Structure 1
Amino acid sequence: MDTRLATSITYLSDMIRIDSRNTLALGAPGLREANEEDMADYLTGKLNALGFSVARQYPAPKRPNLIARHHVDDGLPTLAFNAHMDTVGTAGMSIDPFDPQVRDGRLYGRGSCDTKGSLAAMLTACETLIATKTPINLLYIATCAEETGCQGSALLDLSGYTVDGVIVGEPTRNHLVVAHKCHATIELHCRGKAAHGSRPHLGDNAIYKAGHLLNYLETVTIPELARIKDEVFRDGCTLSVGIIAGGVKNNIVPDFCRLVCDFRLVPCVTAPNEFFADMTARASAALGFTVELQVVDISPAMHTAAEHPLPASIRTTLRQHGLDDTPSGVAYCTDGGQLSAMGFPCVVMGPGDIAVAHSAVEYLELDQFQQAYELYVDVATEFAKQGPQHSPPPGSN
C-alpha cells in the first residue's frame, strides 16, 4: 500500500472514531449528542506538528471553527483547504458508525464520505507540500455546523488572512465543481377567520386558501422557476413544498395555514430576499388574498469562473492525471457558498459519492481517497505557479 494512503487511512480512521454528530442547529434548544471540540483537538495536534499556527473561533460553546496557517512568504499565493468537522446523525445506520473498517477497497464509518475523508486527504496533502517545500502558503479551515445549513462557515472571520483560492472538500468523486445553487427555506402563510365547524360560512378557511396557493405554485411558480437558467444549470431553479400545517381541531374552521418550501436557486439570482418578496407579492395579487412570507434560512450559491487561476489549475492537473476536466455544478449547498459570498474564489472537489453521504452504510472508496490526496498536492503545485491573486490585507497574520 502507498505510504501516503496508509497515513491518510490512519488519519481518517482516527477521525471516524471521534463522535462529531450535529443534529441541532446552532442556538436550537435540546440535548446535543456531540460537538466538534474533540475533532478540533485532534486536528490541532496534527497541524501543530506540521508547523501550522492554529486558531479557533467559537460560534457556540464547544462548536469551534478551526483556522490553521502555514506561511512561507508574502510573495506567494495562499491556497485554502476547507472541509467540515461535523457529521449527520447515526439513526438507522446498519454498520457501527464509529468503528472504521477497511474491506473490499472501502473504508466504512460515519463521516468517511462526508467529509472526514476530505479532511484527512487535505491533511496528508499539506504534509507532503510542506515536506517538499512547495512554494505556496497554506490555510487549513475546518468548520463546524455545516450539516445544519452551513451555519459555521457563515460565522467565520477571515479578516487578516490572505486567501487566493479555496478548495472545499465535499463528495464529488474528485470531479471539479465550480458552481452550486442557493438553498433557501421559506414559509408561506395564509390567514383566515376561525368559526365553529357547524357554521363554516361564518369563517374563512385558511387551508382552502393554502390549497389555492399550492395550485398556483404548481402551475405558475414552478414553471417560471424552471425557466431561470444560467450557463451551468440548464434545469433552472426548483421548488418543493415539504410541509403543510394548519388548523387546531377538526370542528374549528382554521384561521392559519403554512407551507414550508425548499427552493434551489441558480447563482444568477443574486438577491434571493427580493426575489421571494416579488414572488409572494405576485402570488397575492393573482389569488386575491394576502400571502405572507417568512424567510427561514438562505445558504448562498457559489459560482467561480472556469477561467479563474484556481479552477484553471485544477483542470490542468486533471488532464495530467488523464481525468475529465469538465467543470460542473451541483444542486446541494456547501461551505463554498458562504466563503464565496465573503469574496473568496471557491471550487468544490473531494473524494466520495454524494449518493452514500448520510446513508445507512457510509463508506469511502480507497482509490478515490488516494486520488484526492494526489490531486490536492498537484493542484497546489500548479496553483503556486500562478502567483498571488490578492495583496495581503492590512494586519495579516
Structure 2
Amino acid sequence: MCERLSQPAAILAELVALDSVNPDLVPGGAGESAVADHCARWLAARGFEVHRLEERPGRPSLVAVAHGTGGGRTLMLNGHFDTVGLAGYDGDPLLPRVADGRMYGRGTFDMKGGIAAMMVAAARAVAAGPLRGDVVLACVADEEHGSSGTEEVLASFTADAAIVTEPSHLQLTLAHKGFAWFDVEILGRAAHGSRPDLGVDAIAKAGHFLVALEEWGRRLAEGPAHPLLGTGTVHASVIEGGEEASTYPARCRITLERRTVPGETVEGVTGELTLVLDELVSRVPGFRYQLTRGVHREPFEADPGADVVRVLRRHAEHALGRPPLIRAEPFWTDCALLDRAGIPCVLFGVDGEGAHAATEYVDLASLDRLTEILTATVGEFCS
C-alpha cells in the first residue's frame, strides 16, 4: 500500500493481516490469539489496563480499561476479533489492499474496522481528558459462532452504557432479530421396501410437516409487524433421512430456524411449533415426532431515549451534517447480551460491503468518521 493512511486505517491494515478465523466455524482456524496480542500491546502502550480473558484456550478476549478521575459514567465499546473463513475469498484475504477510498480484505467490514475505530477513539478521548468516568474496550472472541467472548466479559465487567461497533453504514441501529433453532425428528418404522404393510415412511410424513412449516411462515408474514424489523420468520435449514433405496426410512430429521422480533420469546415460539406438530398428529395417520430445542438468542431493542443513544445521535448528526438514519438489522449481534445484562446499548459502525462474502471492503472515509463520532461520544458521556 503506497497511500498514506489515517491512524484508524493503518491499524486496520495491521489487524486484517492477522488471521483470526473462528475455529468453531472453520476447523483448524487460527483463532483470536495473534490479533489479541497485537491489540493488547497497542493499548498497554497508551496507558490502558489490559485484562486478557481466556476461559477457552486459544480464544482470548481483551478488556482494556482507562480509569477516570471518579464520579463519572462508564462507557463500554464492544467489537469482535473473529472472522469467518478465508476459503473462496477473491484474492489474498490477509493482504489489505487500498483502492478508490476503500480497503479490501477479510474483516475490513465485519468487523476489524470497528475494532480499529474504537481503539483509536478511546485513546484520543482519554488523551484529551481528563474524564471522570471509565472507558472500557471489550474486544471479544467468537461473536461469529457462539458469542462466548462477550459472555465471558460480562461475567466480570459491566458499564453504564455500551456501543457495539458492528458495521451499520453510519446508521443508528436500534433493534435486531433473535433466533431459535429446533430439531424435529419425524418417526416412521423401518421395513423392507417390498412390505408397505410393515413400514412407515418417515420422509413422506415429513413432507406434511414441511407444508405446515411453509403455512406457518405465511401466517407470520401476515401477522403483526415490528415497526423497524417487520415480522418473525421461519424456514427449514437441514433435512436428513433414510438409509438406502430398498428400506422404509424410520426417521427423518429437519432442522429449522425461527427468527424472532422484540416481544417474541423462545418459550412462545416453542409453543407455536408444538401446536403445528400436534395438529399434524391429530389429522395425519401415523404421524409421530420428537422435538428438541437448540441454540436460541433473544431479539434486541434499544430505548431511543437512553442517554447513550441521544449522545451518539447528536455527535453523529454533527459529523454527518444531517441526522443519522435509524435502522434495524435482521441478523443477531452481541447487543442482545449487553441489553440482557442491564447495559443500555446501541449499534453504530462503518460503511462498506461484503460481510462473509468473496470480496469485502470498508469505506475509509466512514472509518475516519466513525472514529471522530466515537471520540466525541466517549468524551461527553464519560466527562
Q: 1:282 is paired with a residue of what secondary structure?
A: helix
Partner of 1:356: 354
How far does the alpha carbon of each residue in 1:315-361 deviate from its partner, in whole angstroms, 9 at most, with x for none?
A: 212222323334321110111122222221121111133x4111111
Q: Give the letter for the 1:358 counterpart.
A: H
- Is residue 302–residue 346 contact of structure 1 (8 Å, CA) maintained in 2? no
Deviation at 1:260, TM superposition (A): 1.3
Deviation at 1:109, TM superposition (A): 1.0
Mapped partners of 1:102, 1:38: distance in 2: 23
TM-score relative to the length of structure 1: 0.89
5+ long unaligned stretches in structure 2:
282-286
Partner of 2:274: 281
The percentage of aligned residue pairs carrying the same residue is 32
Mapped partners of 2:277, 2:179: distance in 1: 23
Deviation at 1:221, TM superposition (A): 4.5
Q: Give the letter for the 2:233 counterpart.
A: T
TM-score relative to the length of structure 2: 0.92
Partner of 2:171: 175
Q: Which moved more, 1:313-322 or 1:204-213?
A: 313-322
Q: 1:374 to 1:189 in 2, by over 3 A?
A: same
Partner of 2:336: 337
Mapped partners of 1:75, 1:327: distance in 2: 32
- Is residue 216–residue 234 contact of structure 2 (8 Å, CA) maintained in 1? no
Q: 1:229 is paired with a residue of what secondary structure?
A: coil
How far does the alpha carbon of each residue in 1:56-114 deviate from its partner, in whole angstroms, 9 at most, with x for none?
A: 22231110121111111331111111110011001111121111121211111111111
- Is residue 222–residue 239 contact of structure 1 (8 Å, CA) maintained in 2? no
Q: 1:214 is paired with a residue of what secondary structure?
A: helix
- Is residue 149–residue 299 contact of structure 1 (8 Å, CA) maintained in 2? no
1:142 aligns with 2:135: no
RMSD, aligned CA: 1.9
Mapped partners of 2:12, 2:325: distance in 1: 29
Deviation at 1:5, TM superposition (A): 6.0
Deviation at 1:365, TM superposition (A): 0.8
- Is residue 220–residue 233 contact of structure 2 (8 Å, CA) maintained in 1? no
How far does the alpha carbon of each residue in 1:104-143 deviate from its partner, in whole angstroms, 9 at most, with x for none?
A: 1111111111111000011110121011115242000011
Mapped partners of 2:222, 2:49: distance in 1: 47
Q: Give the letter for the 1:142 counterpart.
A: C
How far does the alpha carbon of each residue in 1:159-187 deviate from its partner, in whole angstroms, 9 at most, with x for none?
A: 3x440111111111111111111022222
How far does the alpha carbon of each residue in 1:237-257 deviate from its partner, in whole angstroms, 9 at most, with x for none?
A: 011212111111111111111
Partner of 1:375: 373
Q: Give the letter for the 1:245 counterpart.
A: E
Q: 1:244 is paired with a residue of what secondary structure?
A: strand
What does 1:157-306 correspond to in 2, within 5 Å?
157-159=154-156, 161-224=157-220, 227-233=223-229, 235-269=230-264, 271-272=265-266, 274-288=267-281, 289-306=287-304
- Is residue 217–residue 235 contact of structure 2 (8 Å, CA) maintained in 1? no
Deviation at 1:299, TM superposition (A): 2.5
5+ long unaligned stretches in structure 1:
386-397
Q: 1:250 to 1:59 in 2, by over 3 A?
A: farther
Mapped partners of 1:16, 1:304: distance in 2: 31
In the alignment of these two chains, the number of paired residues is: 373
Q: 1:183 to 1:130 in 2, by over 3 A?
A: same
Partner of 2:114: 118
Mapped partners of 1:99, 1:212: distance in 2: 50
Mapped partners of 1:200, 1:372: distance in 2: 66
How far does the alpha carbon of each residue in 1:281-324 deviate from its partner, in whole angstroms, 9 at most, with x for none?
A: 21222101443222221122221110111111122122223233
Q: 1:294 to 1:156 in 2, by over 3 A?
A: farther
Q: 1:19 to 1:248 in 2, by over 3 A?
A: same
Deviation at 1:226, TM superposition (A): 5.0
Q: Give the letter for the 1:7 counterpart.
A: Q
Q: 1:177 is paired with a residue of what secondary structure?
A: strand
Partner of 1:84: 80
How far does the alpha carbon of each residue in 1:26-57 deviate from its partner, in whole angstroms, 9 at most, with x for none?
A: xxxx9522011111111111111121111122
